[in-house]
């Protein structure tokens, strides 16, 4: 007998028929002798509808009241699922976040979980009940309803699994796992059986469509065994997200190819090559709340340097404005912006013990005549900035160069 936390997303809960389907799946696990705690999202589209409704009444809704409104979608879901379970003879009980006492801070709209009182849930489980908990919501120390940010039900699921020391946290969604890359770009992309937490975080551009990234960080921190599965397929084992030790030693060096379309590059030309310049350029950028990704600096022979970095394309104009203001102070000759870049990354925990990954990556790109504009690396990732028009081509050749279209051993 195992204790399993299952989280069902909005699509899985999208209609009465689908809710019955979830109930049947939960009943199947119960019948196998497992204890089941279910976390549910609002029915698909419901949270958006509630947000829009609030905005019709107020241009800048009060965050506390907005949470009162948007948290209701999940309350409907828990009640409906328990009714569906009872209807097929499964004893079940619903809880809002506040009823469990999922204690959060008071950052409405993006609250963080501080603690979970699992006593009531344990009591119900001991009485052989299925416990159904509303995702996405909690309660602060003053009893205010809070929400955890869009996609937050995943985090509720993981947090409950951590608090209950569950054997597994299963996230049921409309895709059957995490893929080696986006199948819309590479039809040969394969579902990964296993991926580590670190890789999953690096693959955010692919993974964030599957799981709220915060839930992955949470699962990594508390070592929750996390599995992503489709609620529409019976057979697939989905993707297990786990710690490195649990990976198969035969696992390929590279797990996947991630990418991000909306990059822009800024170059500050001809700044004096002296201490403090990087900080004078990037300080004001950081103060304007702009995230900087890749950075390179090239010193010339004439005592000046060119300083380049990338930001998300949405932030480009803002960044140029900030730099225009400091240009004279830092003594820069010119500021250039290039907004047609993208970033492509190869990701894999195996690379730290396998030299030559970068060389293989650069060779594959050069054979297609793709010019690398910037490079950055971490322990488990190598990223290049390239012209956006080459994105699809680059993802395809790298997927092939690292044998990702072949089934794992
Ligand atoms: N219903 C919330 C949302 O749409 C939370 C979730 O689905 O995870 O963001
Ligand atoms: Mg989701």
In the CATH hierarchy, which top-level class contains the domain 257-401? alpha beta
User: Are residues 48 and 71 in contact, defined by beta-carbon separation less than 8 angstroms?
Assistant: no
Gap from CA of 221 to ligand 2 centroid (Å): 20
User: For 66-80, what is each residue's pLDDT tens digit?
Assistant: 999 999 999 999 999
pLDDT score of 63 more than 60: yes
Distance (Å, whole) CA 342 – CA 385: 6
At 212 the pLDDT is: 87
User: In angstroms, how far is the first alpha carbon of the chain from the final one?
Assistant: 31
Distance (Å, whole) CA 141 – CA 104: 7
For 188-228, give the DSSP string: T--B-SEEEHHHHHHTHHHHTTTS-HHHHHHHHHHT--EEE
Q: Give me the CATH topology for the region 3-174.
A: Carbamate kinase (3.40.1160)
The pLDDT of 153-172, averaged and rounded, is: 97
Q: Which residues surround ligand 2, an ion (CB under 5 A)?
A: 9, 151
Q: Which atom of ligand 1 is nearest the CA belonging to 42?
A: 1
Distance (Å, whole) CA 336 – CA 268: 7
Distance (Å, whole) CA 150 – CA 145: 15
Residue nearest to atom 9 of ligand 1 (CA): 150
Distance (Å, whole) CA 183 – CA 374: 26
pLDDT score of 409 more than 70: no
At 205 the pLDDT is: 65
Q: Which residues line ligand 1 (CB under 6 A)?
A: 9-10, 41-42, 47, 73, 135-136, 150-154
The pLDDT of 385-406, averaged and rounded, is: 95
Gap from CA of 42 to ligand 1 centroid (Å): 6
pLDDT-based confidence at residue 393 (cuts at 50, 70, 90): very high
The pLDDT of 81-104, averaged and rounded, is: 98
User: Are residues 263 and 340 in contact, defined by beta-carbon separation less than 8 angstroms?
Assistant: no
User: For 173-208, what is each residue's pLDDT tens digit?
Assistant: 888 899 999 999 999 999 999 999 999 998 876 666
Q: Who contacts 198 (Cβ-Cβ below 8 Å, separation ≥6)? A: 220, 244, 349, 380
* Sequence spans of domains, the chain: 3-174, 257-401
User: For 342-352, what is each residue's pLDDT tens digit?
Assistant: 999 999 998 98
Gap from CA of 214 to ligand 2 centroid (Å): 12
Gap from CA of 122 to ligand 1 centroid (Å): 25
User: Are residues 332 and 269 in contact, defined by beta-carbon separation less than 8 angstroms?
Assistant: yes
Average pLDDT, the chain: 93
pLDDT score of 242 more than 80: yes
Distance (Å, whole) CA 312 – CA 292: 8
At 220 the pLDDT is: 92
């Amino acid at each position: 007998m195992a204790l399993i936390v299952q989280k069902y997303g909005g699509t899985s809960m999208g209609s009465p028929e689908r809710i019955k389907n979830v109930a049947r799946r939960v009943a199947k696990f119960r019948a196998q002798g497992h204890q089941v705690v279910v976390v549910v999202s609002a029915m698909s589209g419901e949270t958006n509808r509630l947000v829009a409704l609030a905005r019709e009444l107020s241009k800048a809704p009060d965050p506390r009241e907005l949470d009162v409104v948007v948290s209701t979608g999940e309350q409907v879901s828990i009640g409906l699922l328990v009714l569906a379970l009872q209807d097929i003879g499964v004893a079940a009980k619903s809880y809002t976040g506040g009823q469990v006492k999922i204690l959060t801070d008071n950052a409405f709209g993006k609250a963080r979980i501080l603690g979970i009182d699992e006593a009531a849930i344990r009591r119900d489980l001991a009485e052989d009940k299925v416990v159904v908990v509303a995702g996405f919501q909690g309660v602060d120390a003053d009893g205010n309803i809070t929400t955890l940010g869009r996609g937050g039900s995943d985090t509720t699921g993981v947090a409950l699994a951590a608090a209950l020391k569950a054997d597994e946290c299963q996230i049921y969604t409309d895709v059957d796992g995490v893929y080696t890359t986006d199948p819309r770009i590479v039809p040969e992309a394969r579902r990964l059986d296993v991926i580590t937490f670190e890789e999953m975080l690096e693959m955010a551009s692919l993974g964030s469509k599957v799981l709220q990234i915060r839930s992955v960080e949470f699962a990594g921190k508390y070592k929750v065994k996390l599995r992503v599965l489709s609620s529409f397929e019976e057979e697939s084992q989905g993707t297990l997200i786990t710690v490195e030790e649990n990976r198969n030693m035969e696992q390929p060096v590279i797990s996947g190819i991630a990418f991000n379309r909306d990059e822009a590059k800024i170059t500050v030309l001809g700044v004096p090559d002296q201490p403090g310049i990087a900080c004078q350029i990037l300080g004001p950028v950081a103060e304007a709340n702009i995230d900087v990704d890749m950075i390179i600096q090239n010193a010339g022979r004439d005592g000046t340097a060119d300083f380049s970095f990338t930001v998300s394309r949405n932030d480009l104009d803002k960044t140029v404005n900030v730099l225009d203001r400091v240009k004279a102070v830092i003594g820069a000759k010119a500021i250039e912006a290039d907004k047609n870049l993208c970033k492509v990354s190869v990701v894999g925990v195996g690379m730290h013990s396998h030299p030559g990954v970068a060389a293989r990556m650069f060779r594959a790109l050069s054979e297609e005549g793709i010019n690398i504009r910037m490079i950055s690396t971490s322990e488990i990732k190598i990223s290049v900035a390239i012209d956006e028009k080459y994105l699809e081509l680059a993802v395809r050749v790298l997927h092939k160069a690292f044998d990702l279209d072949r089934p794992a051993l």
